[in-house]
Structure 1
Amino acid sequence: MDFKLILESSYREMLRRYIEDSSEAALYQGQMFSRKSIKQQISPEEIISIHCKVLKDLYPDIREEILASFDFLIEFMMNYGLAYQELQSLRDKQVEIKSEIEVAASIQENLLETPIPKHAEVDIGAISIPAKKINGDFYRFVEDESSISIAIADVIGKGIPAALCMSMIKYAMDNIPKYRDNPNDVLAILNRVVESNLDSSMFITMFYGVYDFIKHSFTYAAAGHEQGFYYNASSQSFEDLKTRGMVLGVEQNITYEQYERKVKSGDIIVLLSDGVTESKTEKGFIERSVITDFIQTYMHLSAQEMVENVYRQIERLQNYEIRDDFTLIIVKRV
């Protein structure tokens, strides 16, 4: 027998019993038929149509206006059902995208993981906190017997494309070891890689430096990256690490200027992304002097404790809502 006929007959009896004596048993039986109706793919509109027909059978004198209202309800429920399905589809897609982003973030973390070097000559601290799941900032250390290479970069763009860009930069860096001691050459090579492989709407800013343990010098170059700071221990003052250079990926053949500084005992090199300098409070962007004041406050601590404390202070200034990826590196000559 057709399930719809069974449902109509049973629905008539359940509705009659409920109207006459508010039967709890009728409600329970209705729950059972609801589950069966779902399995039989009976739509809500069909249930309303059955309800309307049963009412007319039970109450032949029912006003036509009341019955007409159920026609309106059927149309309303059909539109509601379509809208609900669309919403569910969007939610399912959001869950799927969220899952993919979490996987991408985990892969990115594993691919770009770089141990912070431990060395008797320098104390190094680093922190990189993404504003969202995927980090658009990148830093990397490469150490050999006489030096440490330090790279910090920021993709102009976010999300999974940014993560892919950073992976490309990381592997490109790993394949140019013979140029590693010349930051200007490193940036020139990476610029050609980025320009050849990235969409024209994506660019990367980058700072690349080499700390030489033997000469105690810091040689560096930058590609449109945020200026860092240099702390002179003898004068107890900060100054900007001035640089020049076009961002990576704009033109194929670009040369970069290279700079060198002698690093004395107690001197500090501070490298950062614009997520640090462009931290925003209710009063606007923080001054660069606020960052150096925080660094000076925690100068008695280890480099790692310094970067962590500076991050906490800036996070507090922003009401614990980081709006951009935050990366800070401190290199202090012991």
Structure 2
Amino acid sequence: MPKRVQQTEKKAFLYILFSLALFISLISFFDFFTSIYEPLKGNFRVIHLVLELMSIAVSAIIASNGWVAFTHTLAMNRLLFSSAFIAVAFFNLMHILTFDGTTAFIEIHVTSLTVWFLILGRLVESISLTFIVVYSCKGAAPRSLRWLTYNGFLLLAIVTSIIVILYADHLPLLLKDGRPTLVKTAIEYFFIIIHILILIKAFTIYRKEKKIEFLLIILSSYSLILSSWLMTIYLSPDGYRSFAGHVFKVLGYLFLVNIIFKVNIEHPFEQVKEFSKRNQLLLDSVGEGIYGLDSEGRTIFINKSALRMLGYTEQEVMGRKLHYLIHHKKENGFPSPPRECPIFRTNLDGRNRRQESYFWRKDGTGFPVILEARALLQDDDIIGTVTTFIDLTETRKLKKLELEKQAVDVELELAATVQQSLLPKFEHIPPGVDLGGVSVPYRKLSGDFYKAVFQGSQLVFGVADICGKGVPAAIEMAMMTYSMEQFNHLKVEPHHVMESLNRFAVKYMSDSSFVTMFFGNYDIRTSIFSYSNAGHEPALLFRERTGEFFELSTNNPILGIMENSVYETKEIHIESGDILLLYTDGLTENRASNSPDDNKRLRRLLLHADRTLSARELSKTLLRLMNQDGHPITDDQTLLIFKKL
């Protein structure tokens, strides 16, 4: 249960206990309260006027609030409830005007007549409250019905009042010698029964839904029950019990006003607040930077991606003119006045714009972006702009790779030479480990490749297989190989590399191409191997100490399919004598039958091979043994072996 509901329940419980104790005291200690009330009795007419004016004001608030809220809710049950209080307010007004001969033109049974108006107001209030609780339907009503219902209830109150005044001498007396008659007592008990039923129904609903408005209905009905009860036992209209009855009636109406506040003001505000929170979560989940400006260029919202790229906090940019923080200079350092800013121009003419530009971070460094500015419109008026932008730093780096691809397309022979030169020569392997490999293309150029980079304490290596064969696959292999060298592997984990390579593959490779890759970092200080697998064959780890094989893999998608794919990194400890095999599917595919490919044959060959050979020689030996069955080779074959000495 929400904490706010618990606190409201405690307050409601205290109110019920206190009011019940006061009610019992008012009944039990007549002489005591009579003596206390005696000094106020002479001012009862003024006190009564104030209380009834409060009742009228509360009724008017309920009616007016319902009038305004109907345009947003179109709820039929709320419309009838709020419009009924027009009649309640009118009857209470007539009750004041006919009280104790206030109006000189009414001469018949004035005291009884004024009570009739009080009874009519209570009757309408009880019926409307019963309707809102029992019939909780929220069917939409036409907007024009608002005038009809409000005018209808007002007309009903006026006509009823005229009839009551004209036929006052034919109506049953409600007071005799200042005390309630049997008729009035019966009517008050009728109201008590109605409000008991309302209280039970509201309590049943509240137990299920825990909505505060039903708790307030319970308190309202409870207060009105006490009011009606006191109205049956007072000894004179100006006695303290009558006064207390009027007070409880006002309290009951105030609880109804609180309900209107909860339903029509607080709840919609909370919904708007929740909606705003969800929108902010949605904005923060987007990788692109997004921010909004008002018509003066001041920031009205910004997502976390934009803040991260710009280096600011939300408090530092909200309400400030963002142009002078991030867009005030061009890439060459010259000033960029607002009149040249595409966002500023969109704010003037409402035209959407998309172009490359340059933004500046809080630390003074800049970065290229592609931005798209759109106008915020309200009733065809431009009230601001929404701008999305993407950091082009990585894109510009990758354009260099695209130029290399074009060069490779022109000179195929040179491409083969370049491809072989990209493969590592294993000349700078750190002590304590050995790394070697072999790659045999199916045609002249291979779509397989392996890569090894030694940075600081990290030995980084991996194997990849590009979909396809020949020239296109070889070109894309060269691009991916070069791209792998651009990362600082001391800071970037394997899954981050995979995510960057995936975005590169989606942008620059053909729609029919994709890449599988196994990639990892070996830390020579800790002997921890961190790896990530993008849909590639699992690496095969042979543990010399136990003679067991372990398949290393992560459940990641292949590269080049979806731009926003997410990858993960796993770790394993490498022991002395362990051998790690990274290979492509061309090595292990079963060319003799339609049975699935597996690495069982590679495992058997490694167990029987001379594992004291260098990694380079062991890879050549295993490749030769895998192909000695005489079946034709139909794919590029690559094998990379890592050994811990």
Aligned position for 2:539: 228
CA distance in structure 1 between the aligned counterparts of 2:455 and 2:583, rounded to whole angstroms: 23
CA distance in structure 2 between the aligned counterparts of 1:291 and 1:178, rounded to whole angstroms: 30
1:104 shift after superposition: 3.0
CA distance in structure 2 between the aligned counterparts of 1:257 and 1:272, rounded to whole angstroms: 20
CA distance in structure 2 between the aligned counterparts of 1:179 and 1:289, rounded to whole angstroms: 35
Pick from 285, 288, 293: which aligns with 2:604? Answer: 293
Pick from 491, 495, 508: which aligns with 1:197? Answer: 508
Q: Is the 8 A contact 1:137 1:155 kept in 2?
A: yes
Pick from 114, 118, 139: which aligns with 2:424? Answer: 114
TM-score normalized by the length of structure 2:
0.35
Q: Is the 8 A contact 1:279 1:318 kept in 2?
A: no
Alignment of 1:158 onto 2:469: yes
1:285 shift after superposition: 6.3
1:132 shift after superposition: 1.1
Aligned position for 1:68: none
The letter of the residue matching 1:125 is G
In the TM superposition, 1:108-257 aligns within 5 A as: 108-110=419-421, 112-116=422-426, 117-177=428-488, 181-257=492-568
Aligned position for 1:304: 616
Q: Is the 8 A contact 2:519 2:533 kept in 1?
A: yes
CA distance in structure 1 between the aligned counterparts of 2:464 and 2:508, rounded to whole angstroms: 17
The letter of the residue matching 2:434 is D
CA distance in structure 2 between the aligned counterparts of 1:180 and 1:325, rounded to whole angstroms: 32
Q: Report the secondary structure of 1:124's partner residue.
A: strand
Aligned position for 1:44: none
In the TM superposition, 1:47-58 aligns within 5 A as: none
Aligned position for 2:571: 260
Aligned position for 2:311: none
Alignment of 1:277 onto 2:588: yes
Q: Which has the higher relative contact order, 1 or 2, with Cα contacts under 8 A spaced 6 or more apart?
A: 1
1:276 shift after superposition: 1.1
1:328 shift after superposition: 0.6
1:240 shift after superposition: 1.2
Return the structure number with greater helix share: 2
Q: Report the secondary structure of 1:243's partner residue.
A: coil
The letter of the residue matching 1:136 is G
Q: Report the secondary structure of 1:164's partner residue.
A: helix
1:100 shift after superposition: 6.1
In the TM superposition, 1:4-153 aligns within 5 A as: 101-110=412-421, 112-116=422-426, 117-153=428-464
The letter of the residue matching 1:202 is S
Residue deviations 1:160-185, cap 9 Å, x none?
A: 11111112112222222257640000
1:283 shift after superposition: 8.2
Q: Is the 8 A contact 2:460 2:521 kept in 1?
A: yes
- Deviates most, 233-242 or 282-291: 282-291
- Deviates most, 276-285 or 297-306: 276-285
1:137 shift after superposition: 0.2
CA distance in structure 2 between the aligned counterparts of 1:252 and 1:267, rounded to whole angstroms: 36
CA distance in structure 2 between the aligned counterparts of 1:176 and 1:250, rounded to whole angstroms: 22
1:243 shift after superposition: 2.0
Pick from 321, 324, 329: which aligns with 2:635? Answer: 324
How many residues in Structure 1 have an aligned counterpart in Structure 2?
Answer: 234
Q: Report the secondary structure of 2:628's partner residue.
A: helix
The letter of the residue matching 1:277 is T
Q: Is the 8 A contact 2:442 2:469 kept in 1?
A: no
The letter of the residue matching 2:550 is E
CA distance in structure 1 between the aligned counterparts of 2:628 and 2:634, rounded to whole angstroms: 12
Alignment of 1:314 onto 2:626: yes
Identity %: 34
Residue deviations 1:271-310, cap 9 Å, x none?
A: 1001111142368666421101111222232222211111
Q: Report the secondary structure of 2:443's partner residue.
A: coil
Distance 1:101 1:282, change over 3 A: farther
The letter of the residue matching 1:304 is R
Residue deviations 1:116-141, cap 9 Å, x none?
A: 24332111120111111110101111
Residue deviations 1:57-92, cap 9 Å, x none?
A: xxxxxxxxxxxxxxxxxxxxxxxxxxxxxxxxxxxx
CA distance in structure 2 between the aligned counterparts of 1:267 and 1:297, rounded to whole angstroms: 15
Q: Is the 8 A contact 1:126 1:304 kept in 2?
A: yes
Q: Is the 8 A contact 2:530 2:572 kept in 1?
A: yes
Q: Report the secondary structure of 2:560's partner residue.
A: coil
1:215 shift after superposition: 0.3
CA distance in structure 2 between the aligned counterparts of 1:279 and 1:197, rounded to whole angstroms: 32
1:105 shift after superposition: 1.8
CA distance in structure 1 between the aligned counterparts of 2:597 and 2:482, rounded to whole angstroms: 35
TM-score normalized by the length of structure 1:
0.66
1:218 shift after superposition: 0.4
Distance 1:173 1:315, change over 3 A: same
List alignment gaps of at least 5 residues for structure 2: 1-409
1:115 shift after superposition: 1.7
CA distance in structure 2 between the aligned counterparts of 1:165 and 1:200, rounded to whole angstroms: 13
